Amino acid sequence: MYEIIDVNNSLNLRTQVYDKESRLRTAPGYDGDPVDNGHNTHWVWRTDKLGLIMASQAAGMKTSPKGGFVLHNNAVEMEYLIEGECDLSYPGDRHVLFRVGDCLCHQPGQPHCMKAITPHRLYIAVMLSCAPGACDRTEYRGESNIKTVDSWQVKTCSEVKAELSDEGKVETRNIYENNEHPISHRVITLKPGGSYPAQGFNACNVDEYYYVVSGQGVARYPEKAYGLYHQITLYNYQGQPFKYVNTGKEDLVILSVSAVTKFADLKYDIVENPLVSYELPAIPAKN
């Protein structure tokens, strides 16, 4: 089984039903939690294995509206900066300039704070080792009774060596793997004409989800195909055959998150399946 949500409008493309929890909190008619001082969130994937939050922060806004830091004691948190620029800070007056394409990994209990330092909003893909609703959030201002750790990493995708496939048309960068919690993060870049996999369909041994950062392409499943463009997210349950193809003139960049502790345990079977003829839906115009 698989699910596909277009975060632009919260429509599940497989079921053609609007996904209520992935709606932007400032959208008209939203009846969930109120907006938190300039923080907006979409809870896109909420399974027992993996979670994805599309988050944004207004210019000058910090992760913790009350000041200080936040931490999650029951989840690994990985983040990929999609738009904007921010000051990423940690206890001990440590600061990192966090730019588009940068990734971070926080182990459970790591205090952190992000502050937007550009005139426009930050847009961040927040990847979790559990469902967002099951992830705790603790405000931290140095209290000695709160358990914390000092375990974090920040990387730029370009500094990670790419593994090439499909005659160089596919670049895979293994950004983070986690040896204690089942979540690992990669960035996959398909050059024009590239496909993942090159032949047949992939079927993975664990749950995975994918988020389209940029580019244009097609997501193919044995019975149907869907257009790929910015803010399409796909969740493939274990054993689901799939294939992604770059049909555009620019790179198709996709975040990949797998419910596995290390990449060595990630296995794909090549499944040969015929495709039913299809007609792709139109790609929505950007606002």
pTM of the complete model: 0.90
Q: How many domains does the chain have?
A: 2
Average pLDDT of the residues in 93-118:
94
Q: Are residues 189 and 264 in the same domain?
A: yes
Average pLDDT of the residues in 86-109:
94
Q: Are residues 151 and 164 in the same domain?
A: no
pLDDT in tens, 233-242: 999 999 999 9
Q: What is the pLDDT of residue 30?
A: 47
Q: Are residues 213 and 147 in the same domain?
A: no
pLDDT in tens, 15-41: 999 888 887 655 544 455 544 545 677
CATH of the domain at 65: 2.60.120.10
Percent pLDDT > 90 in the chain is 70
Residue type, 39: H
Distance CA 63, CA 70 (A): 7
